[in-house]
Amino acid sequence: AQTVTQSQPEMSVQEAETVTLSCTYDTSESDYYLFWYKQPPSRQMILVIRQEAYKQQNATENRFSVNFQKAAKSFSLKISDSQLGDAAMYFCAYRGRTSGTYKYIFGTGTRLKVLA
Amino acid sequence: EAQVTQNPRYLITVTGKKLTVTCSQNMNHEYMSWYRQDPGLGLRQIYYSMNVEVTDKGDVPEGYKVSRKEKRNFPLILESPSPNQTSLYFCASSFNDRGAAFFGQGTRLTVV
């Protein structure tokens, strides 16, 4: 069965600094998708970035970028120039084919604190 | 505005009293799903639907029912709620089963 592991329950970063959140996953599939979602205190789930497994190029969205290492099954999120508004819970998610459909599997989350 | 709308946002109920949480999306998405979020466990899928009249169990379906009679709506039904169903619930939709999910605002359910 596929699993997603976020080994850092909590991280802190100084404002304007860079932080990397780690995520590893386990799968035997070759076709899958990886996502990072942000959940601020409002509890809304917001898509941060999406990566397709067949694409070797790492996805980027403004200050957010990923380091996708397919062989190592690693999908870390780098946040550059951290801002107070980046403080949130971050979830890594895997979407791959299971029993004929593409199911979402989420990690347990990393709470990011941004220090002024 | 493209969105997924859940109602209610907060609900306190008593054990055994049937309740329905509604979910509606205006993006003509085919795929819809329900999740529950519990501390330390992340989000777990309850049920999903590939299209109208096509639904299937997720990882934690016990105690829940769903229906998909219209493409835009996907209500979650708790026939006889129990305290272990106290949780934060999310409805989500995506264009297909590979796309990024758009989430509703969440429903905080407390069963006493």
Whether chain A has a CB inside 8 Å of the CB on B91: the answer is no
Mean pLDDT score across all residues of chain A: 93
Residues of B in contact with A104 (CB under 8 A): 33, 35, 43, 45, 92, 101
Find, among A48, A36, A59, A114, the residue nearest to A81 by Cα: A114
Ramachandran class of B63: left when φ > 0, alpha when ψ lies in -120 to 50, beta otherwise: left
pLDDT in single tens digits along all 112 residues of chain B:
889 999 999 999 999 999 999 999 999 999 999 999 999 899 999 999 989 989 999 999 999 999 999 999 999 999 999 999 999 999 999 998 788 899 999 999 999 9
Rounded-to-integer distance, Cα B49 and Cα B58, Å: 10
Which of A50, A101, A106 has the CB atom closest to B42's CB atom?
Answer: A106
Helix H or strand E encompassing A107: none
What is the per-residue pLDDT for A112? 98
Residues of B in contact with A47 (CB under 8 A): 100-102
Residues of A in contact with B60 (CB under 8 A): none
Report whether A57 contacts A107 (CB < 8 A): no
